[in-house]
Amino acid sequence: MDNLSSNLINLLNSESKIKISEISEKLNVSRNTIKSRLSNLKKNHVIENFSIVSNPNILNQDYAFILIKTNPQEYMILEELKKIPQIKMVDGIFGEYSLLVKCIFNNKEEFNQTLQKFDFILSTYSRFKKYRIIEAIKIYKINGINLANIPVKKDMKIDEIDYAILQILNNQQLKYKTAHDITISLRERNLEISQSGVYKRIKSLEDNYVILRHVANFYPKSLNFLGKFILMLKPKDPIEYGKFADNFLQKYPEIKEIYRTGEVFALLAIVRVKKIEDYGNLLLNLYDTDKIEDTYTYFVLDERYPTSFPTQY
């Protein structure tokens, strides 16, 4: 991948939607060149779709990771899990459990209903019928964004139309949704609002840090990201958990997400590296701080769903 494609990818992951004309001006190439390069990135399966990163602290969402014991012959489990909208990630992992699922819930009732679906799927298709839930108590970093640096406006009101707009922006496929597109989608949901009203809503969601970033989702191997790990950390001093997550772990760009959990290994981090040995170097650096008592790693064998992720170089 040349510098033009790399710079184009960086600009696509901006804090607000960026126009072709703006990209053309910033990169000092013609609009037709940008359109052609963007088309090739889609056609060559470098870009899977467009989406947003929203702020879980403002939306009061609950995050949970679920470890599932299964075997490769129980393929219907994965097919059924894909049908559950609260599931945002399914990774095949090495160890006692073979699947790790990331879920996002809008409330506890939705959490409970999703677990009931899990119970049905496993009772129907699994020989082992075993899973383990790791609930996130606090989120420090998500999709490479440090949430400690994001102000939370507690008086921000999110209504039905805002939630619908966020849902539409989360599922844009291979084309950015315009205000016109979103207005039509809202009308199909019996939500009446003008095109200018949609534009103002999106601008407000951005200004109030509900939408943190508009992103393009990429296939990891197309960008030479060959390793993904789920790292569980046990700091020596429980009082230092938050400080360690905010002041130290944040500085590593390989660490894309950081969560505080109720487990003995209280910090959960999602790590992406281009070379497997880079992960070993990261662990050495963590232990050199003398603040880590122990770690446990789940090596991701394959990313089952989705097969892409938002990133920045």
The residue range of the domain holding 172 is: 157-207
Interatomic CA distance for residues 78 and 70, integer angstroms = 10
In this predicted model, what pLDDT tens digit does every residue of 265-292 receive, in sequence order?
Answer: 999 999 999 999 999 999 999 999 888 9
Closest CA to 49 of 143, 167, 220, 173: 173
Q: Is the domain of 250 the same as that of 201?
A: no
Ranges of residues in the chain with a pLDDT under 70 are: 1, 14-16, 174, 307-313
Residues 197, 234: one domain? no
Is residue 259 in some structural domain?
Answer: yes
- State the pairing for strand pair 99-105/47-54: unpaired
| pLDDT given at position 120 | 95
Inside any domain, residue 145: no
Domain count, the chain: 3
CB 286 within 8 A of CB 229: no
Query: 270 and 196: one domain?
Result: no
Same domain, 163 and 234: no
Q: Looking at residue 306, which CATH number applies to its domain?
A: 3.30.70.920
CA dist., res. 279 & res. 290, Å (int) = 18
pLDDT recorded at residue 297: 96
Predicted TM-score (pTM) of the model is: 0.89
Q: Are residues 274 and 299 in the same domain?
A: yes
**In the listed set 174, 207, 240, which residue is the last one of a domain according to the structure?**
207
Same domain, 254 and 300: yes
CATH code (residue 36): 1.10.10
Q: Are residues 266 and 233 in the same domain?
A: yes
